[in-house]
Amino acid sequence: MCGIVAYIGPKDATAFLLEGLQRLEYRGYDSAGIAVTGKTGGLKVCKTKGRVADLAAAVPARFKGATGIGHTRWATHGVPSDANAHPHLDNAERIAVVHNGIIENAEELRAKLSADGAVFRSETDTETLSHLIAAHLGEGTDLEDAVRSALKKVVGTYGIAVLDATQPDRIVVARNGSPIVLGLGEKEMFVASDVAALVRYTRQVVHLEDGELAVVKADGFRTFTEDARTVTRQPSTVDWEIDSYDTAGHEHYLHKEIHEQPASVERTLGGRLDERFSTAHLGGLNLDARELREIRRVKILGCGSAYYAGEMGAQLIEELARIPAHSEPASEFRYRNPVIEADTLYIAVSQSGETYDTLAAVQEIKRKGGRVLGVVNTVGSAIARECDGGIYLHAGPEISVASTKAFTSTVIAFALLALHFGRIHDLSPADGRRIVAGLKALPGQIREILAEEEKIAALAAEYAKHEGMMFIGRVRGFPVAREGAQKLKEISYVHAEAYPASELKHGPLALINPDLPTVALVPDDELLDKNLTTLGEIKARAGRVLAVAHREVDTKLADHTVVVPRSEPELDPLLLNIPLQLLAYYAAVALGRDVDKPRNLAKSVTVE
Ligand code: F6R
């Protein structure tokens, strides 16, 4: 949510800033801006409402500088506009600041700074930072000291990069709740809020910790704390391939990420299945078998698709380990003063590892003495670091705003956890073997579904003509319906509602008519007859039905059927979900939507 980039070195900063911003655009895309300064000082600023491409078009030809900062925004304080776009300046136009996060005491700071003569030109909370830093710059004060003193007066979350027109040999950055990564080059340094902007230039990175600042110069950097204590940070190497951050010939990242699933599932499973004992090895749990046996309940927390993946996870844990498990939106949980129990295992789910509501839920549980595991994709992210242990997905970077491969890998991680848990409890070796074999078959089965792409694309174009769609599934199928509806509405803007199939006749059946088609999940499982009865009820009201079903199911009641291969019943939801990803993707394409950057949304919701 919002992206930051910065450069200092012998080259022209503008080119890197624009390229870097374009790579971070998935994090926010309602306005963008850059500021640069040359060796002789003086600030040049260009910012605009709209996309990074609009910014690139607006940047004058002679807009060059050796030091610069840039930002792509997802609006929180103030509408998307040229004035609200970052960077923000002080009165003298000496300080430029780009910021991710929220300054909670912005109103109070704004009142005080205004009384002291600061003239505000935007509605943003960020602008308080540029005036506040300027207010701490006395004669000869180093920028880093001014930033450090200013931040002591700030309450809130931030990742910031600061430029001073009179000290063009440095950029000062700081982190509190919003990521900042330094990229180490040859006599040049890069900064970004996400490694996606850096990998083209360097693999050597340093992640700042919360409460840390850094002064970044072309020939190196120094990290220190808010009380000026120097801290030593060793660089680490980014291990994702550069290709992971490109569309690699696909029209959209979303298309690429849907098609990557056979490989990303293999990575999530990699080295974790134990065929000898029919179980799973999960090295990062930090819980031994005895501790796991003492767990009486599992509570899973996540937001959006992560929450729905958690619902599938809860179902898997209850079925395979027979431990009561429940998934709840982290955003609700943290506000309801939850009871934290010693014998409950809490699990936080997040692709980005940055979602603020999920992070806050983890912190609340830990504050009350609870134990939290993370199921996280981004290594070293805030949520991963906050948890006591967990499972990394290894799904690879997910760039499209809508989650697909990370969703699937999350459910795989839960299947592994449920298997591990189950085999410690009462899951028989035979059932363990069944699940291990089922998991191993998944990549091939996903490939089979992806081969049906053309057929699903044609159906999507037809169904997208309707104003809304109903998604139904029973028990294991219900989270699939919820995720399918979520994917459709977020990228195609077609209204979609998910209901347990069993609940249809208790109300929403009233909506059924030829203009509101239903996507029905119909696995060949113990609830098949019930599902077929529901289809009959829809058909009796002239409703259209698109069934996602196993080959063995007689789908004569459906208008169209997409067939998925059968897995083990507990794992079927994973496969039933894949056609719904393609359905949403092709509906969005047919309607001409901006598939990877749907309106009003952004990847990584780092605000409340
Ligand atoms: C939906 C989607 C969002 C995220 C949610 C949580 O396609 O992408 O609903 O799942 O914002 O994000 P993470 O998993 O990064 O915590």
Residue 330 Cβ < 6 Å to ligand 1: no
| Rounded-to-integer distance, Cα 176 and Cα 158, Å | 5
Query: How high is the pLDDT of residue 500?
Result: 97
pLDDT for res 13: 95
> What single string gives the DSSP state of each residue in 490-520?
HHH--EEEEEEGGGGGGTGGGG-STTS-EEE
What confidence score (pLDDT) does residue 151 get? 97
Closest to 75 measured CA to CA, from 29, 11, 108: 29
Q: Point out the ligand 1 atom lying closest to the alpha carbon of residue 605.
A: 11
Q: What is the pLDDT of residue 149?
A: 96
Give distance in angstroms: CA of 423 to centre of ligand 1.
31
**Which residue lies with its CA nearest to atom 10 of ligand 1?**
305
How confident is the model over 4-18, as pLDDT tens digits?
999 999 999 999 999
602 Cα–ligand 1 center, Å: 9
239 pLDDT more than 80: no
pLDDT of residue 75: 80
Is residue 576 pLDDT above 80, yes or no?
yes
d(CA 124, CA 116): 18
For residue 303 and ligand 1, the question of a CB distance below 6 A is answered with yes
pLDDT for 35 equals 97
Residue 381 Cβ < 6 Å to ligand 1: no
Residue nearest to atom 16 of ligand 1 (CA): 350
| Neighbour-count burial for 18-37, b at 16+ CB within 10 Å, e otherwise | bbbbbbbbbbbbbbbbbbbb
| Cα 303 to averaged position of ligand 1 atoms, centre (Å) | 6
CA of 89 to the centre of ligand 1 (A): 33
Distance CA 152, CA 132 (A): 11
The per-residue pLDDT for range 358-373, each reduced to its tens digit, is: 999 999 999 999 999 9
Residue 41 has pLDDT above 90, yes or no: no
Query: Using alpha carbons only, how large is the chain's radius of gyration in Å?
Result: 26
Between CA 297 and CA 286 the distance in angstroms is 18
Per-residue pLDDT at 227: 93
- pTM: predicted TM-score of the whole model, two decimal places: 0.88
C-beta atoms surrounding 167 within 10 Å: 22
* pLDDT over 80 (residue 43): yes
Q: Which of 591, 142, 381, 166 is nearest to 599 (CA)?
A: 591
- What digits encode the pLDDT tens for the residues 474-528? 999 999 999 999 999 999 999 999 999 999 999 999 999 999 999 999 999 999 9
For ligand 1, atom 3, the nearest C-alpha belongs to 304
Are 49 and 12 contacting, i.e. CB atoms less than 8 angstroms apart? Answer: no
Ligand 1 pocket check for 305: Cβ under 6 Å: yes
In the predicted structure, residue 245 carries a pLDDT above the cut 90: no
Q: To the nearest whole number, what is the mean pLDDT of the chain?
A: 94
Distances from the Cα of 174 to the Cα of 109, 157, 213, 222, 426, angstroms: 19, 10, 4, 12, 50
Is the predicted pLDDT of residue 607 greater than 90, yes or no? no
The mean pLDDT value for 231-259 works out to: 89
pLDDT for the residue 358: 96
Which atom of ligand 1 sits closest to the CA of residue 306?
10
DSSP string, 561-577: EEEE----TTTHHHHHH
Residue 352 near ligand 1, beta carbon < 6 Å: yes
pLDDT value, residue 606: 73
For ligand 1, whether the C-beta of 403 sits within 6 Å is yes
Q: Which are the catalytic amino acids?
A: 2, 603
Read off the pLDDT of residues 88-101 as tens digits, 9 standing for 90 and up: 999 999 999 999 98
Range name among 24-33, 138-147, 262-271, 302-311 with the lowest pLDDT average: 24-33
329: preceding bond cis by omega (within 30 degrees): no
Ligand 1 midpoint to CA 32 (Å): 23
For the stretch 543-569, pLDDT in tens is: 999 999 999 999 999 999 999 999 999
| Ligand 1 pocket residue status of 577, Cβ below 6 Å | no
Place of tokens 């003509």: 465
Q: How far is the CA of 351 from the centre of ligand 1 (A)?
A: 7
Pocket of ligand 1 contains residue 304 by CB under 6 Å: yes
Ligand 1 proximity of 351 Cβ (cutoff 6 Å): yes
Protein residue whose Cα sits closest to atom 7 of ligand 1: 402
Helices (H), 270-349: 289-293, 305-321, 330-333
Pick from 307, 403, 411, 414 the residue to mutate for probing ligand 1's pocket: most ligand atoms within 8 Å of its CB: 403
Ligand 1 atom with the shortest distance to the CA of 355: 16
Per-residue pLDDT tens digits for 417-461: 999 999 999 999 999 999 999 999 999 999 999 999 999 999 999
> Would you say the CB of residue 605 lies under 6 angstroms from ligand 1?
yes
Q: Give distance in angstroms: CA of 271 to centre of ligand 1.
A: 27
